[in-house]
Amino acid sequence: MGGLATTATEVEKQLSELRSRIDAEGARTVAAADLKIDALDQQLRALANTVAHIAQGSQTARDSAAESDRRVNEVRKLSALRQAEFEKNSQYSVMVVHHGGGSATEAVAKDLVNTLSQEGFKASEGKWAAGTELHREIIIDYLSRARQKAVAMRSTVIAVANSHSYSATVAIRAEPRTNSSVGPDITIWL
């Protein structure tokens, strides 16, 4: 009977993690669409300004058209860079591990998953084993291929933790994990 209870608990935990991954993927997809819509909106505003200036006069119109073209090109380049970074981030899975419902780390984890998903990462939540004590050090664990992303992610983790008044040091594990078949690319242990 005890074995069945343990198995049921493990299945529930896995279903919870799967639900979290599905929710995070939806948030990531919405963020990608928002990026594209924002870029289009900026381009339309620049185009509307160009049309308005063309109506004012010939020399002014030429100057305005040149300036508008420059701004539209800048917006396109910035949008392309943001989209490329988003796509690079989507190649990495991130698990944010917290202490479960009602814990001091749960809200931090949810906010981190949301923030990282909006940056393109495939972020999801995980939970510590029942009874794991709260600690004041956040560890970022990573596969060797994800080192650069893990290091860059540290500032995001600090900002989100601080926004929840969760004071903890944030450390990046000195040695990367080498076994890529176990777990996500990056794990944030709250």
Give yes or no for a contact between 63 and 155, defined as CB atoms under 8 angstroms apart.
no
C-alpha 153/C-alpha 89 separation (Å) is 11
C-alpha 142/C-alpha 167 separation (Å) is 22
- Phi, psi at 143, each rounded to 5°: -80, 155
Domains and CATH numbers, the chain: 91-189 (3.30.70)
Tens digit of each residue's pLDDT (9 = 90 or more) over 60-115: 666 776 777 788 788 888 888 888 999 999 999 999 999 988 888 999 999 999 99
Which one, of 68, 116, 64, 65, lies nearest residue 94 by Cα?
A: 116
Tens digit of each residue's pLDDT (9 = 90 or more) over 146-165: 999 999 999 999 999 999 99
How large is the angle between the packed helices 58-89 and 2-54, nearest 10 degrees? 170
How large is the angle between the packed helices 2-54 and 106-118, nearest 10 degrees? 40
**From 20-34, 49-63, 81-95, the region with the lowest mean pLDDT:** 49-63
Residue, of 176 and 94, whose pLDDT is higher: 94
Residue 122, beta-bridge partner list: 93
Q: Mean pLDDT for the chain?
A: 83
